[in-house]
Amino acid sequence: MFQWLKKKLKWMIHKQYSNGQTQPNDNSTSKSESVAQTQTKPVYKNVYKNAEEMKRILGENEGVFNRTFTIGKQNGKFAYIFAVSGMVDTKVINENILSPLMNLELPNSPSETVQFLKYLKESVLTISEVEFEENLLLIPQIIFTGKVILFIDAEDKALVIDAQAMDVRGIEQSVNESVLRGARDAFNEDIGTNLSLVRRRIRDPKLHCEPMIIGKQTHTKVVITYIDGIVNKDILNEVKKRINNIQIDSVLESGVIEQLIEDAPYSLFPTIGNVEKPDTVAAELLEGRVAIFVDGTPFVLTVPHLLVNHFQVAEDYYSRPIYSNFVRLLRILSFFISVMLPGVFVAFQYYHSILIPFDLLITLAKERAEVPFQLIVETIGMLIVFEIIKESGLRMPKPIGQAVSIVGALILGEAAVQAGLVGIPVVVTIAIVGIASFPVSTLGEAISILRILFVFAGAALGLFGILILGMVVVSHLASLRSFGVPYSAPLFPIKVGDLKDSIIRFPLSLLVRRPLTFKTENQMNQTLGGDSGEGQRGKE
């Protein structure tokens, strides 16, 4: 029996590896791309066979156009061109591909045309990017990236010509990350434009951009970006490994990849950052992080991502430290108010009313005298109504959304108070909580759920229940990791050198090292005062 089970186990492992499901892959290309490349079919030398095969693979595809023509005025060679309407520039095709090829003077001697494709690439086609492709099965995938495919009779390779011309949204201001001082440009949906915005800020050849293709059906382009010589290679390899392990049909937004590679998918706290501003991505790359660009979305993923990053914005480093620290402390205070104030309010009313000043207690009692619901029902109900109003304002068209927010906040709240459904203290508390949640918008999802949990904890055990739940949340934060880096660093565990830019920010002249938490290859960020200054600051 044991021998039979052993043979069965070996057969299952062999089958699993043969299907390519668990075999490790450390290359920079994705698994979906590597699997596709194992299936090869050479390009036919007969141009019409290639055309028939392409039509068979593509089927009845609206928008895919093809044309046959002759290269050269005399002794010409038949050629076939394939492209997708709307993704290529027809003017470029006419002026830079068809016109030079059809008017080409072909030599009469066969020896001069031995390397015909190389001759066309280097001397005839007036386009910057021209490549060769030998695998016929990869060509349909290439066409839908906006490239032009050229088959030539008697040639066993196809020419892949870049003639992309897709309409993209211009570079505009960020919607979610507004600033008073600093760059106002934001990413758009074109990955090439997004990469150029970062390269404009980091003009260093060590800025590496490694492309890969993710998605069996969408074939979405993903680019891993980092600065060689700064990034921690262990973190970089972990990022590549997790992305290579993705097996999914579609990747339509960076949030799909975020959910598939994050450390704690069931946690309320995001362990991967998403950024819309190029200067923020550039700053994080210079700290030793890795950025993940996804074609078709203006949101770039950055890893590792820590808890303190939610309270930091790019503008903190463009302003003087005194005011920047004041605003950063306000963000931290806003987070605690937004999460814990409703629970503390319920706990004081239920269990600790003796701690409330007598005059205020009398006022609260009068307001609650005509309310027919329990305080916890009233508080939870108002929190849910607030979330509904906020979601409605976000999802509806902008002008209507603003009107809905005003109606919900003023008219609906006033009517509910006058009807005796809720008390004024609860409305004021929820209003303060709602306003306090906006300065830390990146933690909005966690805040919405945590505040309800704290209300239940306060109603069940008072301040003791809030303390217990707070300890659970802190323990959870201390256990989280972001690509091997402690999520709560530099607070847990304490990194004394990184505390200079955590809760408060020291002057830039003292921030001479990159975060020690990331264990970057090059720790020094700046050198002031010559060799002696470097030695002095190195000791810090």
Supply the pTM of this predicted model. 0.82
Query: Please, what is the average pLDDT of the chain?
Result: 84
Give dist(CA 284, CA 278) in Å, integer.
10
Give domain limits for the chain. 47-162, 191-305, 321-485
Distance CA 489, CA 211 (A): 31
**Amino acid found at 504:** I
Residue 481's pLDDT band, with cuts at 50, 70 and 90, is very high
Could you tell me the pLDDT band of residue 524, with boundaries at 50, 70 and 90?
Answer: confident
pLDDT tops 70 at residue 114: no
Question: Is the confidence at residue 146, as pLDDT, over 70?
Answer: yes
Short-list 426, 173, 193, 399, CA closest to 276: 173
The secondary structure element, H or E, covering residue 262 is: none
As a dihedral over the C-alpha atoms of residue 360, residue 363, residue 365, residue 370, rounded to 10 degrees, the angle is -160
List CB contacts of 387: < 8 A, sequence separation 6 or more.
Answer: 448
Q: What is the pLDDT averaged over residues 381-396?
A: 84
pLDDT (average), residues 248-267 = 94
Q: What are the beta bridge partners of residue 159? A: 132, 150
Compute the distance between CA of residue 239 and CA of residue 243 in angstroms, rounded to an integer. Answer: 6
Residue 534 predicted with pLDDT over 60: no
In terms of Cβ atoms closer than 10 Å to its own Cβ (0-12, 13-18, 19+), residue 235 is buried
d(CA 94, CA 355): 82
pLDDT band at 262 (very low <50, low <70, confident <90, very high): very high
Compute the distance between CA of residue 376 and CA of residue 408 in angstroms, rounded to an integer: 21
Kindly tell me if the per-residue pLDDT of 8 is higher than 50. no
| Residues comprising the chain, all counted | 540
Across residues 101-123, what is the average pLDDT? 72
Does pLDDT of 532 surpass 60?
A: no
Alpha-carbon distances of 355 from 347, 358, 412, rounded to whole Å: 11, 9, 32
Looking at residue 37, its pLDDT comes to: 45
ω into residue 278 within 30 of 0, thus cis? Answer: no
What's the pLDDT at 531?
A: 47
Instruction: Give residue 365's pLDDT band: very low, low, confident or very high (50, 70, 90).
Output: confident
* Distance in angstroms (rounded) separating the CA atoms of residues 75 and 77: 7
- Diameter of the chain measured on Cα atoms: 107
Sheet with 147-152, edge to edge strand ranges: 64-71, 77-84, 147-152, 158-162, 130-133
Looking at mean pLDDT, say which of 49-53, 138-142, 220-224 comes out highest: 220-224
pLDDT value of residue 415: 76
Which pLDDT value is given to residue 271? 95
Which pLDDT band, with edges at 50, 70 and 90, does 218 fall under?
confident
Poorest-pLDDT segment among 247-251, 364-368, 520-524: 364-368
In angstroms, how far is the first alpha carbon of the chain from the final one? 66
Q: How is residue 365 written in tokens?
A: 């009692």
- Assign 3-class secondary structure to 280-306: HHHHHHHCCCEEEEECCCCCEEEECCC
Q: How many CB atoms lie within 10 A of CB 529?
A: 11
Q: Which helix (H) or strand (E) holds 55?
A: helix 47-58
Q: Which residues contact 196 (CB under 8 A, 6 or more apart)?
A: none
The DSSP bridge partners found for residue 224 are 210, 292
Pick from 2-16, 160-174, 225-239, 513-527: least confident = 2-16
pLDDT at 1 over 50: no
537 pLDDT above the threshold of 50? no
Q: Which of 231, 236, 229, 82 is CA-nearest to residue 145?
A: 82
Q: Does residue 340 register a pLDDT over 50?
A: yes
Q: Position of tokens 């990869």? A: 138
pLDDT at 293 over 80: yes
Query: What token pair was written down for 147?
Result: 């490239």
More confident residue, 415 or 404: 415
Q: In what order do the strands lie in the sheet with 273-275?
A: 207-214, 220-227, 290-294, 300-303, 273-275
Distance CA 315, CA 179 (A): 7
What letter represents residue 529's amino acid? Answer: G
* Helices and strands (H and E) in the chain: how many: 20, 12
Cα–Cα separations (whole angstroms), residue 276 to 172, 187, 373, 419, 527: 11, 6, 44, 44, 30
- Listed in sequence order, the DSSP H helices in 352-490 are 358-369, 375-395, 398-406, 413-418, 424-437, 444-461, 463-479
Give the lowest-confidence range in 33-47, 80-94, 222-236: 33-47
CA pseudo-torsion sign 83, 89, 90, 94? negative
Please tell me the predicted confidence (pLDDT) of residue 538: 40
CA pair distance 196, 341, nearest whole angstrom: 44
What is the model's pLDDT at position 110? 46
Confidence class for position 54, pLDDT limits 50, 70, 90: confident
What are the backbone angles phi and psi of residue 304, rounded to the nearest 5°? -70, 155
Mean per-residue pLDDT for 435-457? 93
pLDDT higher for 328 or 393?
Answer: 328
Q: For the CA atoms of 467, 469, 470, 475, what is the dihedral angle to 10 degrees?
A: 130
Q: Is the pLDDT of residue 7 over 60?
A: no
- 30 near 213, Cβ under 8 Å? yes
**Contact between residue 480 and residue 269 where contact means Cβ atoms under 8 Å apart:** yes
